[in-house]
């Protein structure tokens, strides 16, 4: 199936590993020009080689950036424009904020969570939307989490901000839809990423279980009885970024193997 995005310019945040990396590889395979950022140069370089092998050729740009820093995001955006021209596809993404219950969290942790998980989305969208409006075409996909709909006690900050991101997704979609721009969110379930292994370590300590026991219990909560691979998430993102998804906008799509219990 031709997704109709060959030659499009795609920016994928925090893409040196995990879901961001999987999205970059999947979009490269569709012929997109790829611009990725992350905090570690060495990891970016390794990932760039994999993206090149996926079909991007020399059309891969890597920029060191911390998504919680506004100046870094501006530099990444400017570097992308200089290399490829205006941005057609934006995938927002970040590592999760601290895992803890409400009374264990400080003001600094809340502020850090807002900067890294919410404000990076706001800032990146402000940068790319004007160009998309001029060309009457754009795709924005926010990588978030199923906790937007089904909060978890030890993910207080994440549950709060992810729910807000779903509201932002709908609001943005309403406002930029007349300009041919779609905005959607991916509510990811348990995928085998570094974030999942970090959460496993936290919960192993609090629950007094081994890593094998943690992942066994996590799989048993999912109707499909397994955790996802990053590629399975990236395939949905790639569809949402395509011409084929031209009438899908303003939705927060659960990709969680049936984990979320709500019907809406």
List pLDDT tens digits, range 8-53: 999 999 999 999 999 999 999 999 999 999 999 999 999 999 999 8
Domain spanning 9-189+229-244 has what CATH number?
Answer: 3.40.50.720
pLDDT of res. 208:
86
Provide φ and ψ at 185, rounded to 5°: -125, 145
pLDDT of res. 192:
81
pLDDT of res. 200:
73
Task: Report d(CA 214, CA 227) in Å as an integer.
Answer: 12
pLDDT of res. 195:
74
Q: What is the DSSP string of 87-133?
A: --EEEE--PPPP-B-GGG--HHHHHHHIIIIIIHHHHHHHHHHHHHH
Could you list the pLDDT tens digit for every one of the 264 residues in the chain? 789 999 999 999 999 999 999 999 999 999 999 999 999 999 999 999 999 988 767 899 999 999 999 999 999 999 999 999 999 999 999 877 888 999 999 999 999 999 989 999 999 999 999 999 999 999 999 999 999 999 999 899 999 999 999 999 999 999 999 999 999 999 999 888 777 777 778 778 778 888 888 888 889 999 999 999 999 999 999 999 999 999 999 999 999 999 999 887
**CB count, 10 Å around CB of 247?**
6
Task: Report d(CA 100, CA 134) in Å as an integer.
Answer: 43
- Mean pLDDT for all residues in the chain: 93
Provide φ and ψ at 38, rounded to 5°: -170, 170
pTM for the structure as a whole: 0.93
Of 216, 240, 229, nearest to 5 by C-alpha is 240
Calculate the CA 201 to chain-centre distance: 22
Would you kindly state where each structural domain of the chain is located, as residue ranges?
A: 9-189+229-244, 191-227
Q: What is the DSSP string of 12-81?
A: ESS-SSHHHHHHHHHHHHTT-EEEEEES-HHHHHHHHHHHIIIIITT-EEEEE--TT-HHHHHHHHHHHH
């Amino acid at each position: 199936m031709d997704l109709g995005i060959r030659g499009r310019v795609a920016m994928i945040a925090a893409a040196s590993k995990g879901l961001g990396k999987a999205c970059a590889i999947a979009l490269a395979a569709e012929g997109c020009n790829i611009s990725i950022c992350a905090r570690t140069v060495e990891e970016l370089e390794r990932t760039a080689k994999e993206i090149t092998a996926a079909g991007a050729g020399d059309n891969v740009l890597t920029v060191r950036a911390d998504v919680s820093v506004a100046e870094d995001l501006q530099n990444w955006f400017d570097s992308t424009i200089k290399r490829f021209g205006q941005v057609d596809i934006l995938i927002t993404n970040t590592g999760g904020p601290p895992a803890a219950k409400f009374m264990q969290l400080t003001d600094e942790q809340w502020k850090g969570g807002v900067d890294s998980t919410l404000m990076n989305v706001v800032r990146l969208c402000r940068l790319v939307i004007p160009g998309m409006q001029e060309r009457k075409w754009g795709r924005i996909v926010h990588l978030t989490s199923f906790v937007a709909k089904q909060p978890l006690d030890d993910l207080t900050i994440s549950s709060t901000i992810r729910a807000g991101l779903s509201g932002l997704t709908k609001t943005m979609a309403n406002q930029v839809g007349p300009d041919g721009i779609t905005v959607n969110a991916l509510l990811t379930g348990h995928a085998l990423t570094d974030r999942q292994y970090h959460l496993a370590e936290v919960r192993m300590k609090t629950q007094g279980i081994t890593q094998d026991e943690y992942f066994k219990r996590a799989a048993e909560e999912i109707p499909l009885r397994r955790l996802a691979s990053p590629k399975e998430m990236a395939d949905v993102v790639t569809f949402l970024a395509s011409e084929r998804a031209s009438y899908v906008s303003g939705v927060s799509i659960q990709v969680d193997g049936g984990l979320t219990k709500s019907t809406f």
